[in-house]
């Protein structure tokens, strides 16, 4: 069994698909105050509808019914960093579950808020594409112990305990995020290097927090890309993970 640190990034489905999912907008619910001018009332309602649609689009990436998996970052226990990010979401999901499968049993997958967001999102999108999920991810109603969520480890049973990846990383003195998740889909399309750097930082912070919480031990330094990159290509076979040319971590 190997250990991987991981993080997923999502994006809204194409607008042509989302257009059929927009919940109905009721202009009668728009408060117009003391406005009497029909044109001003119409303009206010039009603005409210535009905001309503924009907010729906902004939230779409966080719901597997309206969003998709865009990229998955993985850091192996050997120190290599990989990005799985195919145009075909089904291929991305199949590749990720292959990594989780392990040689003899499910690998240890460590994420942040992964039991509440990442894993459910991945599984529900897999249902959509009829992609098989490895045995051992869940045990009945519960997640397998190999699926480690650092947020739950941080909470220590207190569901009210707050803290994002960024705030906990800052508190522990292991670094901070270098951007905002809501920008990822745009960066992935317009500036792939920056998008990968953002994803890489999130996975690095996940690994560093795991070290501090005594969940896993891994020498973590600064990531740097090696001469060849595997973005958008198939992840190497498992026996090649520790030797392939990819994103690597400098010890």
Q: What is the pLDDT of residues 45-64, one digit of tens each?
A: 787 877 777 777 778 889 99
- The structural domains of the chain, with segments of one domain joined by +, span 3-14+65-249, 22-60
Token pair 């026996």: residue: 239
Backbone angles phi, psi at 182, to 5 degrees: -65, -15
Question: Which of the given ranges, 50-54, 101-105, 220-224, has the highest pLDDT on average?
Answer: 50-54
pTM of the model: 0.79
Which fold would CATH assign to domain 3-14+65-249? Answer: Nucleotidyltransferase; domain 5 (3.30.420)
More reliable by pLDDT, 223 or 118: 118
pLDDT digits (tens, 9 = 90+) for 107-135: 889 999 999 999 999 999 999 999 999 88
Burial class (CB in 10 A: 0-12, 13-18, 19+), 107: buried
Predicted confidence at residue 105, as pLDDT, reads: 67
Cα distances from 71 to residues 171, 199, 251, in angstroms, run 27, 9, 25
Assigned token pair, 167: 């705030």
- The whole-number pLDDT of residue 225 equals 42
Q: Considering only CA atoms, give the Rg of the chain.
A: 21
pLDDT confidence bin for 235, thresholds 50/70/90: very low
- Does residue 184 register a pLDDT over 70? yes
């Amino acid at each position: 069994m190997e250990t991987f640190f991981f993080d997923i990034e999502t994006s809204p489905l194409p607008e042509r698909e989302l257009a059929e999912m927009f919940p109905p907008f009721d202009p009668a619910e728009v408060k117009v105050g003391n406005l009497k001018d029909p044109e001003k009332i119409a303009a206010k309602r039009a603005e409210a509808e535009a905001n309503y649609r924009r907010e729906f689009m902004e939230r779409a990436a966080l719901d597997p019914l309206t969003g998709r998996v865009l990229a998955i970052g993985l850091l192996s226990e050997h120190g290599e960093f990989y990005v799985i990010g195919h145009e075909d979401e089904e291929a991305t999901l199949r590749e990720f579950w292959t990594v989780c499968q392990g040689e003899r049993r499910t690998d240890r997958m460590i994420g942040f808020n992964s039991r509440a967001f990442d894993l459910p999102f991945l599984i529900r999108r897999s249902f959509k594409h009829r992609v098989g999920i490895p045995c051992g991810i869940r045990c009945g109603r519960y997640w397998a112990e190999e699926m480690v969520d650092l947020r739950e480890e941080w909470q220590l049973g207190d569901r009210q305990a707050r803290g994002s990846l960024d705030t906990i990383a800052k508190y522990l003195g292991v670094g901070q995020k270098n951007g905002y998740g809501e920008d990822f889909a745009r960066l992935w399309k317009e500036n792939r290097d920056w998008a990968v750097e953002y994803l890489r930082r999130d996975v690095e912070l996940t690994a560093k927090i795991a070290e501090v919480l005594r969940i896993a031990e891994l020498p973590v330094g600064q990531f740097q890309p090696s001469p060849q990159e595997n973005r958008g290509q198939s992840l190497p076979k498992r026996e090649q993970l520790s030797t392939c040319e990819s994103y690597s971590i400098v010890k």
